[in-house]
Structure formats: structure tokens, C-alpha cells
Amino acid sequence: MKAFIKRTFDIVLSSVGLIILSPIFLVLSIIIVIDSKGGVFFRGERVGKNGKTFRIFKFRSMKKDCEGKGSYNVSDHDERITKVGHFLRKSKLDEMAQLINVFLGDMSFVGPRPELRYYVDMYTEKEMPILDLKPGITDWASIVNSQQYIGFTKAGANSDEYYLQCVRPLKLKLQLYYRYNNGFFSDLYCIFFTVIKVVSKTKKLPDDIQKIVDEHMETAGQYAYELQ
């Protein structure tokens, strides 16, 4: 029943979202095509539920066929980013195309962010249950790390190492917390908090999430993620 409710919610809300946002999607598509060659969407491979590979939809913010040709974690100064791509990435509008993935059933509105196979292959036995769930457009980890590109930019050529040492450990803790503490109303709260975060740029977090962040910061030492 829980899975049925979640899937019904995803279908209804993604359908409404795609219809309402279609004029904006059309404008973005035209701008992206005019700005650079390579089509409207980026369709990179990501790992979904039960380890199954799927192709994610994102409005293309980089030059054609750039993934894997350089750092996985992109800084704001990366030459692969197109002119309009900087705006798409900072505004998170590039992620909105994932409504298509939600409608198709590859993703959900709320769930662990879909990861590259390269990083999933690093999962420990304790971390593998993250793959029990469909990946999502948003989750608590993406809210906490919403400005992670700033860290990538500061790290420069070491952005991948920064991700592994500073971002990923806390991300996995938050994703594991969601794995064992998810529900319909908590998903609604996460969506609500995501909207608040995007609109207001607030640093405030729910008490349970803030506790995980604080505990991580106390034990992470020199590799603690610098929250923005």
C-alpha cells in the first residue's frame, strides 16, 4: 500500500508538473539549442532501484558528450559548461527535466539522489540498502549539499577528491537515514523544505537532520563538509 500511494502521488504530481511547466520547458529548450550544439537533454547513465541502470533526463548544461571527460564533480569554472548552463545549474532548472523520469517510473519525487555506477561500486554492505529505494529528485542530502558546487569550485582540479572526502560521507549518512525513516508525510515535508530552501536559501534544517549533520561535523575532522 505504501508503494502504491507513493507511485500514485508521483504519477499525478509529475503529470501536473509537466503540463504546467511545459511553456517554461519549451523556452528552456529553445535557449539551450540556440546556445550550443548537442540537443536539449543530457541523458547520462545513473544507478536506480536494485542497482538497475537507467538514463536520467536533465536539461543540458554542458557541451555535448562531456561526462567522463574530466572531473565527475563539476566546478563553476569548468570549461565544459555552456553559457546558459551556468544559469541552469545554479537555479536547479536543469534538474526539472527529471519529472520525465518520475513519470516513467525510474525515479520518485523524494529518494536518494541517483548516483554514477563508479560511486555505487564503492558502497559498503551497510550502504547497499540505499538501492532498495527509487532515486529521487530531492532528498535530505541534496538539501544539505545544495551549494556543493561552491566546494567543487574551491577545490579546482581536486573536485572529485573533495566529493569523496567531504561530501559523500555525510550524503550517505543522510541517505541511509531516509532509507529507514521514509513515509508519505515525511516525503511531503521534504518536498516542502526543498521549495523553501530554493526560494529563501535558508540554512535551517529539521531537528533530526541537523542532528545527523552536527554529529558528522564533530567526527569528520579535517574532512568535514563546509556547509554553505
Report the pLDDT value the prediction gives residue 70, as an integer from 0 to 100.
Answer: 78
Residue 25 makes CB contacts below 8 A (sequence gap 6+) with 18, 96, 97
Report the pLDDT value the prediction gives residue 219, as an integer from 0 to 100.
Answer: 78
**Burial letters for 190-223: b for 16+ Cβ neighbours within 10 Å, e otherwise?**
bbebbeebeeeeeeebeeebeebbeebeeeeeee
Q: In angstroms, rounded to a whole number, what is the distance separating the alpha carbons of residues 213 and 195?
A: 20
Task: Compute the CA torsion angle 228, 58, 194, 146 (nearest 10 deg).
Answer: -10
Contact 60, 32 (CB under 8 A): yes
Angle at 215 between CA 212 and CA 216, to 5 degrees: 85
Q: Sign of the CA dihedral 43, 184, 173, 94?
A: positive
3-state secondary structure of 148: helix
For 165-211, how does the pLDDT look when each residue is reduced to its tens digit (9 = 90+)?
989 999 999 999 999 999 999 999 999 999 998 888 888 899 999 99
> What are the backbone dihedrals phi and psi of residue 91, each rounded to the nearest 5 degrees, phi first?
-85, -10
For 88-114, how does the pLDDT look when each residue is reduced to its tens digit (9 = 90+)?
998 889 999 999 999 999 999 999 999
Report the pLDDT value the prediction gives residue 218, as an integer from 0 to 100.
Answer: 84
Q: Taking every pair of C-alpha atoms in the chain, what is the biggest distance, in angstroms?
A: 48
* Chain centroid to CA 162: 17
**What is the chain's mean pLDDT, rounded?**
91
For 21-79, how does the pLDDT look when each residue is reduced to its tens digit (9 = 90+)?
999 999 999 999 999 999 999 999 999 999 999 999 999 999 987 877 778 888 888 88
In the chain, which ranges are continuous DSSP H helix? 2-35, 83-91, 99-104, 117-120, 140-144, 148-155, 159-162, 168-180, 184-200, 207-220
Q: In angstroms, rounded to a whole number, what is the distance separating the alpha carbons of residues 76 and 79?
A: 9
